[in-house]
Amino acid sequence: MPTYDFVCNSCQKRFDVFLTFAEYGKTPVHCAHCNSADVRRRMTKVRIAKTEEGRLESMADDFSGIEGLEDDPRALGRMMKKMGREMGEDLPAEFDEVVNRLESGQSPEEIESAMPDLGSGENSKE
């Protein structure tokens, strides 16, 4: 049975639902955390299989110009986004928030002040 990924618009948590192809679109889906019917389908990324060695080589190429990133939040954000793609894993929503803030020019210190719960695990996927 296929697994479909959803996000609850009420509590913002992610959850998976197992549905047959015949059930998809016909069976109502409710949040596994708060039971809300206000949910949306989360499109997952298509993954291209790479060996771990291939991913590490690709990231090593990216890190060759790492000097000075602490002074350029936009470049740091671009590097983090590419690193996240190379990892090929689902990252918490906070990762995207931090990358977006960096790419808009916000410094790591400003982000840390604006997001005091960052890294506490409170908003991560359960």
Above 60 in pLDDT, residue 124? Answer: no
Strand-strand pairing, 3-8 and 39-41: antiparallel
How much is the pTM?
0.42
122 versus 88: the higher-pLDDT residue is 88
- Are 30 and 39 in contact by the 8 Å Cβ rule? The answer is yes
Mean pLDDT check: name the lowest of 67-71, 75-79, 81-85: 67-71
Q: Is the pLDDT of residue 21 over 70?
A: yes
Residue 18 CA: distances (Å) to CA of 4, 6, 15, 66, 90: 6, 11, 10, 43, 19
- Dist. CA 60–CA 21, nearest whole Å: 41
